[in-house]
Chain A
């Protein structure tokens, strides 16, 4: 059981927008601006797509955006494309007693 809670799966049609939630506690997501999102294709290493809640690394499409409300972080993908079909993991800092934790991952299916 992961420390951060994500839905197991989400789906959407090309062109639509989807949002993936990542729920933590007031000790992690609710306390620090240290939340990242990673995209992973089967058999490949994860890839950073969002860091510090809402910042995008160079080269990442602006179709990907991040936000936070209370103890829940969210990843929104707009204008869904077939290539977005992957598993998405959230990651957050939980303080010195916990350090870094991951969500269980959300498999995105593009219909």
Chain B
């Protein structure tokens, strides 16, 4: 059974870059989309974007190009960088898996436990 585990700093300063990694265990990283979703008290769940094992990406336009995702199939992990963060980016960040079809946008069948990132000086 596939499991996902997020890791990264819990505290990031304003204007800096938030960097998170999600490790995939118990299954293949190939043939799936790998997603980032965040949840804040003020805005609920917000979709950040997804990456395929080949490196193809789709991002939420509302993040205005601040998000960048990468994948390392050899390490079975994928990453999120979110630049120029502000307090509004404080949230629990989840990684999640969805199926490999291009239409599989909301079928998040496996989630990580989530990691809290606080943006503060």
Contacts and interface: CB of A to CB of B under 8 A. Distances in A.
Contacts of A104: 44
Contacts, number: 61
A92 B111 contact: no
Contacts of B45: 46, 89, 91, 102, 105
Interface in B94-121: 94, 103, 105-109, 111-114
A97 B45 CA distance: 18
Nearest to A45: B111
Contacts of B105: 34, 93, 99-100
B46 interface: yes
A45 B46 contact: no
Interface residues of A, number: 26
8 contacts: A36-B107, A44-B113, A51-B107, A57-B109, A89-B44, A97-B61, A99-B58, A103-B44
A91 B60 CA distance: 14
Most A C-beta atoms less than 10 A away, residue of B43, B94, B105: B105
Interface string A17-52: 000000000000000001110100000111110011
Given A99-B60, A99-B61, A105 B44 contact: yes
Contacts of A44: 113
Nearest to B49: A99
Nearest to A103: B44
Contacts of A108: none
Contact of B108 (A38, A92, A103): A38
Given A51-B106, A97-B61, A99-B61, A45 B47 contact: no
Given A2-B43, A51-B107, A92-B106, 15 more contacts: A34-B105, A47-B111, A48-B108, A51-B109, A89-B44, A91-B47, A91-B108, A93-B103, A98-B61, A99-B59, A99-B60, A100-B47, A100-B60, A101-B47, A102-B45
